[in-house]
Structure 1
Amino acid sequence: MPDVMWMQGVEWLAAAAADPRVCKREWDQGSGTVLMEAGRFWDVLSVPEQLGLLALDILWNDPLRAPGPTLVDTASRRVGFFLPPDPASRWVGSGLRHAGKGSWVAVPPPYRAARFLEWLIPPDGTGALHAAVPLELALQRANGTLAVLAPPPGG
């Protein structure tokens, strides 16, 4: 990522923190992650890793829209998609977790991994996020693919 985009991504993401300066200092000198409240600038939809990676691959196939910021937590084996805040959102499905207003999300800096968290697609500073409808369709398609690939019961 060019330096300008990298810096814009840092500033955009840090703006979601209660104190952006403290946030950036913690990224650089502390544990490397900051707890940020969801629901103001973004929500996060966390899904099981295999489903999330397959859905992200499907999203990359849309030539008109690049996927938004996406995190992977390698310890819990989950993928987090950053979406526009939506207090009325109702994500339903096995293993889906929606973090909206009142939820807290551990966030590493856009320029490096921290512990088990790393950006698959870091924020670019433009404020671009995943759109809910294309993400939902990609998750449905990915879930269908995983169902076909699953071994038969008892097999």
Structure 2
Amino acid sequence: MQSVRWKQAVEWLAAAARDPGECKRQWDHGTGTALLAAGRYWDVLSVPDRLGLLALDLLWNDPLKVPGPTLVDVTARRVGFFLPPDPASEWIGFGVRHVGRGSWVAVPPPYRPGGRLEWLVPPDGTGTLHSPVPLEQALRTANGTLAVLTPAGVEPGGW
């Protein structure tokens, strides 16, 4: 059953590549990552890692709702939340980057890390993404928590 899920997740992710077959070959035999186009199937909201990890923890509080695909870049210290494409939304905050149409995202396969990139929540192959409203609420709550925990004069987490 697990292998069927990974196969569906691979197909779902690879569909965002310019050449899905080449994307899958890169994952299997190349560097471990492939560049995928944002804005068609999903956008990515990239935030500082402290903010993103705390927000993801908050999103896990609902046992009936598994968070959408979430990627961490351990070198850049960023967390990327995959959410529905929306060219009209404005995500504002210190260190917050909305990656949408016209941008490319380095993505490892859903079944293993790719260098500095690793799935915290891998895609499930069904197209499930983060819902923007609960994600925004989690980020705001996380930012408030970080503001309390951060010494004066230091930027808390980015929201």
Partner Cα separation in structure 2 for residue 64 and residue 29 of structure 1: 37
1:35-114 mapped onto 2 (5 Å cutoff): 35-114=35-114
Tell me if the contact between 2:14 and 2:36 (Cα under 8 Å) persists in the aligned partners. Answer: no
- What SS is found at the alignment partner of 1:147? helix
Q: Is it true that 1:145 corresponds to 2:129 in the alignment?
A: no
Q: 2: distance between equivalents of 1:112 and 1:65?
A: 23
SS in structure 2 opposite 1:35? strand
Q: Structure 1 residue runs of 4+, over 2 Å off?
A: none
Q: For the residues of structure 2 that align with 1:37 and 1:128, how far apart are their CA atoms?
A: 17
Separation of aligned partners in 1, 2:17 and 2:153:
46
Matched positions, count: 154
Q: Which moved more, 1:63-72 or 1:133-142?
A: 63-72
**TM-score normalized by the length of structure 2:** 0.93
Paired with 2:12 and 2:101, the residues of 1 have a C-alpha distance of 18
**Per-residue deviation, 1:153:** 4.3
Using the alignment, how far apart are the partners of 2:153 and 2:98 within structure 1? 30
- Measured in 1, the distance between the counterparts of 2:151 and 2:89 equals 33
Q: Separation in 2 of the partners of 1:151 and 1:90? A: 28
Distance 2:108 2:48 in 1: 19
Q: Write the deviation string for residues 35-90 of structure 1: whole angstroms up to 9, x where unpaired.
A: 11100000000000000000000000023321000000000000000000001010
TM superposition shift of 1:32? 1.0
Q: Which runs of 5+ in 2 are unaligned?
A: 155-159
Distance 1:153 1:46, change over 3 A: closer
Query: Equivalents in 1 of 2:25, 2:153: separation in Å?
Result: 51
CA RMSD in angstroms, aligned pairs only: 1.3
Letter in 2 for 1:69: P
In the alignment, residue 64 of structure 2 is paired with which amino acid?
A: L
2-side partners of 1:46 and 1:82: how far apart? 9
Give the TM-score of the pair, scaled to structure 1.
Answer: 0.96
Distance (Å, rounded) in 2 between the aligned partners of 1:34 and 1:6 = 16
Q: Percent identity among equivalent residues?
A: 71
Gaps of 5+ in 1: none
* Equivalent runs, 1:4-19 vs 2, <5 Å: 4-19=4-19
